[in-house]
Structure 1
Amino acid sequence: MRTFGIGLIGTGFMGKSHALAYRNARAVLGGPAARLDVLCDVPADKASAMASQFGFARATADWREVVNDPAVDIVCITTPNRYHHDMAVAALRAGKHVHCEKPLAVTLADAENMAAVARETGLRTMVGYNYLHNPAFDHARRLVDEGAIGALLHLRGWVDEDYQADADLPWTWRARADEAGLGALGDIGCHLISMVTRLAGPIDSLVADMATLYPTRPMPDGDGRGAVENEDVAGALVRFESGVKGTLAISRCAHGRKNRLGFELHGTRGTIVFDQERLNELQLYRQGSEATAGFTTILTGPSHPPYGDFIPASGHQLGMNDLKTIEAAAFLAELSGGPRRGPDFAEALAIERVIHAIARSAREDRRIAMNPQEDRHP
């Protein structure tokens, strides 16, 4: 079976997660193997140290060496957002498959170009929506598809974190529109959109609002304050093409919330509730006798694949890096002729069109149709 060479650009939080995932994918889930070939970061001494720590054979401070390295089959991009476009396009043009963290790009135009280049080259892509690979999320989808809660009528979705909740936290690149793009929408709101659209299908139209709660933040060097150029919170009322209605709430300023990414699905005969802070649990309510009414807590276990490939007993819990391992293994399997699990650049572009539509709706104070030919004014 073929072994795929990995080139990693970026060694922060998600860079380490990618390194662990590709190192562990075959050991846990079988299938094709990955070879950790070359790692890139700056400065060069940091790249060398991280390559040694992560187990890569070589290090470089020039990302172009990664995308042009003949040993590399998959380029993993885990850099700040503003670098995604140029790196991904160069990698695809060099004949490499690309595994890129979300969001695709700072601007919608760049994201559209990335998807177009992927389509033109015919190469495979994966985008880092690792929460979609949670066995609990897969089970929620199966329950909906099997009609366990009847016909889906309405959903509520939320994603709350507190990494920007303190008004005195220093200004960073995440506050710049030219480096981060959207704020809470691009950083965490896209995860919520990835989930609800896989549960309820494409969004038809939406009306939204957003706000920057802290317009300035202290500069890291103590010299004055810098402007925050993107949103801290956003909310939307959405209509899905399926007829389902929904409400979405997004905040990066919610004290005490670390990764409260979740949803509540209301059907004609029941309800499903999920919260990523308790990622190994699913809450299910089915209509029935008042004497037995109440939610059932479903603990993920070996009956919810691929949980059993990690742990042979229920209740022992998977973690975020395990979800990234499932994601990496799925991409390796796809490159060996297996089914597409995604999301690829095309699906990720659809997600980003939604978050940019939310921002546009808030700016223009009107409902936005996802089909531009049917854009609906008040």
Structure 2
Amino acid sequence: MKEIKIGIIGLGGMANVHMEYMAKIEGVSVTAICDSNAEAVERAGEKLGIPAEKRYMSYEAIIADSDVDAVLSITPNQVHHAIVKCCLKHGKPFMTEKPFTRTYSEALDLLQQYEENPIQSMVGFSYRYVPSFRYARDLVRSGKLGTVRHIFVQYLQSWGVAMVGTPMNWRYRSEFTGTGALGDLGSHMVDAARFIVGEIAEVSAQMKTFIVNRPDPATGKVGTVDVDDFTGFLATLECGAAGVFQTSRNAYGSGNQLEVTIYGDLGTVSVSCERGQELTWIQPQVDAADPSISMSGVHKVPAQYHITQMQDFIDMLRGHVREELPTLLDGYRNQEVLEAIQQAAEQKRTIASADVREAALEAGGIS
């Protein structure tokens, strides 16, 4: 088995999580690291035993390194575009975190380059690797729920609530993050809907900023929040199903609450990332004379739906690509829907996802 040599860009907390999972996969090693913080590079280099010549502060240098087979980009949103663009330039396989980019124009730029030079890619829609989400996907696609009529998706967190006192940080500044709750959490909601049920055709939306001013530790002054704390939208999926979505970082009492409920003619399935080993399935009682008599049950997820994101990434590098793997195209389509949501909120009208690219190209393409 050929050893896979991985380069890590960004040495924050999530990088450690990914490395823990990779350490369990045979024939994989981290051989180069990169971060804009010199101390972080040296500290991680010593811990991992990385040679001095493989400790980088330039993402261009680690991507260009011929000894690195693929890179993981675990970075803030503002550098996603530049790093993926560099990977496309060098033909370097990669995994990048979500949201795919800050803006739609950045996503379109990457799509156009990818279409000219496609490479192995993964976008970090990590909830595709929650076993219950994968099980729900199969139940829907195998027809166990019949025709899907509507879905409800919510992703709620509480760290932005006023009483918590969260100060200004990069997630509250559009120049670094693009959007707020929409890109941070809403991107996962959009991907969950696409993954389990199907593509989103059109949306209408509202976006709200609840706390406009937050103390900025960097300046000692009050900073202005210019991204959303809450986004809610209605959607029509290409299959004809209706969708209701809400996301907030100001939902008091919520931990990491991503929940999806799918309502079909033959039953209803509910899943949550906080109970990823089981799902709730409501279905008609087989022996009941009245089909409206239902039976609700909690079902343990079969072992076949258990796989880690890093295993899927490494398998892709070795040539085994699963249908469920989120590629650059999934990242682009996700960003296209996020743009439709943002436009719908701003213009107070329904926006079709398919019109986003056409309008951008007519307006002069990318910026």
TM-score by length of 2: 0.90
Paired residue for 2:149, among 146, 153, 159?
A: 153
Pairing 1:224–2:221 present: yes
Pairing 1:330–2:312 present: yes
The answer (yes or no) to whether the contact 1:16–1:54 under 8 Å persists in 2 is no
1:89 is displaced (CA, Å) by 1.1
Paired residue for 1:94, among 77, 90, 97?
A: 90
Aligned residue number for residue 298 of structure 2: 297
The answer (yes or no) to whether the contact 1:148–1:286 under 8 Å persists in 2 is no
Aligned residue number for residue 42 of structure 1: 36
The answer (yes or no) to whether the contact 1:19–1:54 under 8 Å persists in 2 is no
1:95 is displaced (CA, Å) by 2.3
1:334 is displaced (CA, Å) by 1.9
CA distance in 2, matches of 1:55, 1:108: 39
AA aligned opposite 2:94: V
Range 2-11 or range 143-152, more displaced = 143-152
Aligned residue number for residue 357 of structure 1: 340
The answer (yes or no) to whether the contact 2:162–2:211 under 8 Å persists in 1 is no
AA aligned opposite 1:13: G
CA distance in 1, matches of 2:23, 2:84: 22
5 Å-filtered alignment, 1:6-21, equals 6-21=6-21
Size of the alignment, in residue pairs? 350
5 Å-filtered alignment, 1:189-338, equals 189-221=186-218, 223-288=220-285, 289=288, 293-300=294-301, 303-307=302-306, 326-338=308-320
Aligned to 1:371, the other structure's residue is in SS state: helix
The answer (yes or no) to whether the contact 1:118–1:125 under 8 Å persists in 2 is no
The answer (yes or no) to whether the contact 2:257–2:272 under 8 Å persists in 1 is yes
Range 262-271 or range 14-23, more displaced = 14-23
Pairing 1:371–2:354 present: yes
The answer (yes or no) to whether the contact 1:102–1:128 under 8 Å persists in 2 is yes
The answer (yes or no) to whether the contact 2:204–2:344 under 8 Å persists in 1 is yes
AA aligned opposite 1:327: Q
The answer (yes or no) to whether the contact 2:148–2:262 under 8 Å persists in 1 is yes
The answer (yes or no) to whether the contact 1:107–1:181 under 8 Å persists in 2 is yes
1:13 is displaced (CA, Å) by 2.4
CA distance in 2, matches of 1:364, 1:55: 53
CA distance in 2, matches of 1:173, 1:94: 29
1:53 is displaced (CA, Å) by 3.3
CA distance in 1, matches of 2:303, 2:16: 26
Structure 2: segments with no counterpart, 5+ residues: 360-367
Aligned to 2:234, the other structure's residue is in SS state: strand
1:92 is displaced (CA, Å) by 2.1
The answer (yes or no) to whether the contact 1:212–1:232 under 8 Å persists in 2 is yes
CA distance in 1, matches of 2:156, 2:48: 31
What is the percentage of aligned positions where both structures have the same residue? 28
Aligned to 1:248, the other structure's residue is in SS state: strand
CA distance in 2, matches of 1:199, 1:273: 11
Cα RMSD after superposing both structures: 2.0
1:163 is displaced (CA, Å) by 2.1
CA distance in 2, matches of 1:151, 1:175: 40
1:56 is displaced (CA, Å) by 4.6
Pairing 1:135–2:131 present: yes
CA distance in 2, matches of 1:116, 1:15: 28
CA distance in 2, matches of 1:13, 1:182: 22
CA distance in 2, matches of 1:55, 1:163: 36
CA distance in 2, matches of 1:127, 1:187: 14
The answer (yes or no) to whether the contact 1:213–1:232 under 8 Å persists in 2 is yes
CA distance in 2, matches of 1:39, 1:363: 41
CA distance in 2, matches of 1:162, 1:53: 34
Structure 1: segments with no counterpart, 5+ residues: 27-32, 308-322
Aligned residue number for residue 170 of structure 1: 167
